[in-house]
Amino acid sequence: MPDDAAVAGEVARGDDSALTPQQRRAQSRPASAHLVAPRHHRPHVKHQFDTLAQQHEADTLGMWAFLATEVLFFGGMILCYTVYRGVYFKEWHNGSRILDEFEFLGISAGAWNTAVLLTSSLTVALAVRAAQLGRREQLIGLLLATMALGAAFLLIKAMEYRNDYHEGLVPGWPFHPDPRLLEPGVRMRPFELFWSFYFVMTAVHALHMLIGLGLFTYLIVQAWRGKLTREHHMPVEIIGLYWHFVDLVWIFLFPLLYLVR
Amino acid sequence: MNVSFTQSINLAGAMLAQSDGPGPSTQFRLWPQQASHFAVQVDTLMAYLLAVSVFFTLLIFLLILYFGLKYRRRPGHLPQMVPTNYALEVIWTAIPLALVMVMFVWGAALYVHEVEAPRDAMEIQVIGKQWMWKVQHPQGRREIDQLTIPVNQTVKLHMTSQDVIHSFYIPAFRVKQDVLPGQYTTEWFRPTKVGEYHLFCAEYCGAEHSGMIGKVVVMEPGKYQQWLAGSPADLPPAVAGEKLYVQYSCQTCHGERAPTLAGLYLRTSRVLENGQLKSVVADDAYLRESILNPSAKIVEGYPPLMPTYQGQLTEEQIMELIAYIKSLGSAANPREPSTAPQTNAPSGGGQRR
Amino acid sequence: MTSIPYTPALAPPETYLNVSYRVRSWLLTADHKRIAILYMISITLFFFVGGAAAVLMRLELMTPQGDLVRAETYNKLFTIHGVMMVFFFLIPSIPAVLGNFLVPIMIGARDLAFPRLNLLSWYLYMIGGCFALGAMILGGVDTGWTFYTPYSSSFSNTNVALTIVAIFINGFSSILTGLNFIVTIHKMRAPGMYWSRLPLFIWSHYATSLIFVLATPVLAITLVLVAVERLLRVGIFDPALGGDPILFQHLFWFYSHPAVYIMILPAMGVVSEIVPCFAHKRIFGYGMIAFASLAIAVLGFLVWGHHMFVSGQSIYGGMIFSILSFLVSIPSAIKVFNWTATLYKGSVDLRTPMLYALGFIGLFTLGGLTGLIVATLAIDVHVHDTYFVVAHFHYIMVGGAVMAYLGGIHFWWPKITGRMYPEWWGRFSAFLIFVGFNLTFFPQFILGYLGMPRRYYAYAAEFQVLNVMSTAGASILGLGYLLPLCYLIWSLFYGKIAPINPWGAAGLEWQTSSPPPTDNFDQTPVVVDEAYAYDKIEVPSA
């Protein structure tokens, strides 16, 4: 292999074909590649990457691929929910009505939660912007605001759960709903099924929220230590992406569980 | 063509034959018995598939052998680079595509035939449970793990399960259908040869899955009639259903505050489902739902009065009630339902479709 | 695990193997090659657990009566066999061992995009595996690997929940591996490694990863719902509680049919590397093979209903799934023809990896053609849930995936360990496996068409001759699998030191030392030619 080619770091195809067949055979290894010297590493660039840009692209694509998995994960549940909504229309209708009737200040808890979560998406978007501009205090403030909104969501959810528990709506706990809540003709088994789906879907969503809060805590610590800079703001962007997805799931769950009757 | 083909295949098996005692044949064989009109049709299709498979298997094996030997690595032999030939790629995409499309059309046509039972079939009720098959004939005689049928008679099985999923499989007839809890499935065939054949449960159903077997006995029609009369039979399903109808006082509502059952079977009615008007055909699935979950579909113009019978009726009893409703005639020729206990058997119970 | 000694003699002094010998350096490694070794050891363990169950099953089936084990035990055996082989051996086999080792090297990267995530994958896999072994030791599970409801959710009183947890955790291991591959292949290719120059091994792993990422979560959520139904007694899939058992089957097969392609696509990738190397020729129809991999991955998502032709789904559903199943066979046929055409006018060297690869082509052809038979609606009504299906999928999974895995292990063994395996033993065991495999599974095609159902521990007497043949074949097959285990371990200590490129192969992985250094290449390679430039390499002597 010509030394100058290796030093130059880039070899055109023509250079290779210029070798005579004898020269090629003389090489103990195939001529399909040449080797170039490694680039110098820079801070924040992990050893497997060549450049920060490559690392950012990889991280972003990784998160998108993960979100694709998540879409299918929630999709399976939403499919089952929708199938049974068609089969047990009455029970689903009754369940949605009960959910929508739990209110604070005349607005249903689900609607409050939607508002809270959408606002948190805004604060995350602003936090990403702050990170890109390298504004550390602003970043920490916005992340804290996001966490507060996330916590508020979970708090409202917990109060809803508590209310459901008091009304005997937790499946297998045992399931003994307040008879006043039941519409005529509603059968207990399918009604319980609605609540099973409700609890599984919202609990899995809440689990994602909790993971998100953990990730934000990590970001705040990193920002506090000055590890997040204008150059290295990728973690904020990627975790922000995750948070937007968790919001988006709720945007599907809320109408499915509360509104569509 | 196919009968002789399979006979010659089984010739080798016949050499090793043991004497056939009672029960399904235990003779070693390489091709299954053909005992229903499906068997010949399915085997003919299988012969086509086997021909294609053998051709391509041999083609690939022989090509690999030939190339492997002819172009084996040896001193002085240099490989020649052969560029990709797109004409070749098109050819070996198109030919298999054409061959498999024949398979699809042929297989699908036969499948549609296998699914759609003819209207004149004799209907036999089958209930699967861990780990036995319960069979009841239209005249009332019951069997366990055995299905006795007359030769050349079209038979339709009306099946459900009491617990998990089972599958009613008669290899000699080439038919199989899963038997599901909470739903009805059907399977039909016309046996063409007198004899005894295996009956297997083909869907894994728990510990004694391999014990959920039995035999199918195909008889001359005369012998079948003798057999039917040969032992004290239970009430025919339609009659037992009538008794249940009276026992549960269904007649107090049906006819006045609720729709009459005469001529209901396969009638199209307008029903209210989830607050919307829909047309439904009163088939087995609808009748079952209306017994177990009456409020799901309310016939237009009637109040939702009927209580659910979920948990009060066994699978057999539901089947009997449906058999009774069927005996009250279809939309074309209704018969008045009973108002008081009766003993005379309604004619033609369960024989319409 | 530190006991793989390696004395560098001719190779460069520092390799990924000798960089440290401490246990910690293995258990906390982020090196994709070391993680591949961890996977190799663990999947071998699970393979032999699943294999032991198969041995007991075949022994039971020697006689028509159930006389060796009880029915319950037999049911647990085939469940263990299925769960271990499918979830803990076949699915991770080629991707997590060979893929992990080779994907970065083949594209000229220093590691996967997310090395620590890769290690996490292995830990998740091991935790899942421990749960599965735990469920087995605590009394087993008897639902079959398919977990059909309502049997699994309401009737079985074995360790269903624990096994579900095992598979759920293992599923995330698959997802993370797939995610890692997708990002790596997209973003980490060396300069000049265009998509049109990617080795077909990479193409097939890319297609596999798409399935990992998009199908596995559906299985995960389905199993969660089964567990919820079991624990809370609410009717999601049990009709007695108001659920729909067919819905479970749809969701289960939405994952588990693509899972078959998770097993076979990487195997096709391995064969696409071995065949051109030992025919010393450019692969015939590179573009067609790469395209076929993606076509299989996409179409594979649309054929799940062909497992349910007699389940009671609608006629039209059956027809659509049938025609799509026929269509998915076409890309596979294209691949077989192209591999065969690659031999034409080549310089064919029948070394062990090539024997496995050619065995793969033959057995996969048979498995694929019988796949057409089971895709034909009217025939499937007869052979569904019989030994015909068992034989068909073993031809694909054992005759296909396992043959290719072993071929790949032999092919890259010099690169992975720096040692040569003993050639005579390799050829001998490849021959044993081919003979044993066919003797085991060919009789099962006949058994199936005769009507012997699956999962029967006692059967009708006329099936005995064929069953005895099958058991005899299985003992040959078992020996065939033990031999490589022995001589490959032997070769670690006494095998010849491997040169950089023992086969005269064209791939990028053959340009770095054997075994490679931790960063794979001393310098980042720049690719200037396609992956199969065999016209530029001298033919090694036979």
Model confidence pLDDT, tens digit, residues B286-320 = 888 888 888 778 888 888 778 888 878 888 888 88
Which residue, B119, B280, B115, B118, is CA-closest to C315?
B115
**Nearby residues of C233 by Cβ (< 8 Å), 6 or more positions away:** A172, C241
Distance CA C458, CA B29 (A): 18
- List CB contacts (< 8 A) between A90 and chain B: 274, 295
Which residue, B214, B198, B213, B207, is CA-closest to B163?
B207
Which residue, C274, C289, C112, C277, is CA-closest to C196?
C289
- Bridge pairing between strands B122-129 and B155-161: parallel
- Bridge pairing between strands B195-201 and B214-219: antiparallel
| Element at C57 (helix H, strand E) | helix C32-60
Which residue, C505, C489, C357, is CA-closest to C425?
C489
Which residue, C270, C336, C256, C335, is CA-closest to C300?
C256
State yes or no: pLDDT of B127 exceeds 90.
Answer: yes
- Phi/psi of residue A260, each to 5°? -70, 115
**Partner C contacted by A60 (CB < 8 A):** no
**Confidence category of residue C107, pLDDT binned at 50, 70, 90:** very high
Q: Fill in the amino acid letter for C203.
A: W
**Cβ contact C245–B206 (<8 Å):** no
**Nearby residues of C23 by Cβ (< 8 Å), 6 or more positions away:** C1, C2
Tell me the two tokens of residue A24. Answer: 């090629």
Q: What percent of chain A has pLDDT over 70?
A: 84
The arithmetic mean of pLDDT across residues B192-212, rounded, is: 94
Place of tokens 């010949």: B40
**Cβ contact C382–B171 (<8 Å):** yes
Residue A101: Cβ within 10 Å count: 12
Tell me the two tokens of residue C135. Answer: 């469920």
Report the length, in residues, of chain B.
Answer: 353
Task: State chain A's mean pLDDT as an integer.
Answer: 82
Q: Which of C320, C337, C356, C537 to mutate to test the interface with B (most CBs of B within 10 A)?
A: C337
0.90 exceeded by the pTM?
no
The arithmetic mean of pLDDT across residues B131-145, rounded, is: 90
- Bridge pairing between strands B268-273 and B298-299: antiparallel
Q: What pLDDT does A12 receive?
A: 36
Count chain A–chain B contacts defined by CB atoms under 8 A: 8
Distance CA B51, CA B57 (A): 10
Q: What pLDDT does B318 receive?
A: 87
Q: Are C510 and C259 in contact (CB under 8 A)?
A: no
Give residue-wise pLDDT tens across range B61-92: 999 999 999 999 988 888 888 888 889 999 99
Q: Among C192, C247, C511, select the one facing A30 at the smallest CB separation.
A: C511
Which residue, C298, C209, C226, C218, is CA-closest to C251?
C218
Q: A45-54, C4-13, C440-449: which has the minimum mean pLDDT?
A: C4-13
Give residue-wise pLDDT tens across range B243-261: 888 888 888 788 777 888 8
Which residue, B141, B134, B156, is CA-closest to B351?
B156
**Cβ contact C191–A6 (<8 Å):** no
Task: State chain B's mean pLDDT as an integer.
Answer: 84
CA distance, residue B321 to nearest chain A CA (Å): 23
Q: Are B68 and C362 in contact (CB under 8 A)?
A: no
Report the length, in residues, of chain A.
Answer: 261
Which strands, in side-by-side order, build the sheet including B175-179? B146-150, B214-219, B195-201, B166-170, B175-179
**Cβ contact B206–C142 (<8 Å):** yes
Give residue-wise pLDDT tens across range A16-57: 444 444 443 334 344 445 455 444 556 678 888 888 888 889
**Partner B contacted by A224 (CB < 8 A):** no
Which residue, A15, A42, A44, is CA-closest to A31?
A15
The chains found to touch C (3+ Cβ pairs under 8 angstroms) are A, B
Q: Fill in the amino acid letter for A234.
A: M
Q: What pLDDT does C309 receive?
A: 92
Q: What pLDDT does B6 receive?
A: 54
Give residue-wise pLDDT tens across range C193-216: 999 999 999 999 999 999 999 999
Q: Among C183, C215, C232, select the one facing A62 at the smallest CB separation.
A: C183
Which residue, C258, C273, C271, C270, is CA-closest to C208?
C258
CA distance, residue A191 to nearest chain B CA (Å): 14
CA-based nearest residue in chain B for residue C459: B210
Under DSSP, the state recorded for A257 is: I
Q: A151-160, B253-262, B279-288, C305-314: which has the minimum mean pLDDT?
A: B253-262
**Confidence category of residue B236, pLDDT binned at 50, 70, 90:** confident
Q: What pLDDT does B302 receive?
A: 83
Which residue, B251, A173, B349, B165, is CA-closest to C243?
B165
| Element at B200 (helix H, strand E) | strand B195-201
| Element at C527 (helix H, strand E) | strand C524-527
**Partner B contacted by A25 (CB < 8 A):** no
Distance CA C198, CA C207 (A): 13
The arithmetic mean of pLDDT across residues C155-179, rounded, is: 93
CA distance, residue B335 to nearest chain C CA (Å): 32
ipTM over 0.85: yes
Distance CA C272, CA C344 (A): 15
How crowded is the C-beta side of B81, counted as CA atoms within 13 Å?
Answer: 9
**Cβ contact C450–B31 (<8 Å):** yes
Q: Where are the alpha helices (DSSP H) in chain B?
A: 2-15, 37-70, 86-115, 221-230, 237-247, 284-292, 315-327
Q: What pLDDT does C149 receive?
A: 87
Which residue, A212, A200, A260, is CA-closest to A240?
A212
Q: What pLDDT does C542 receive?
A: 64
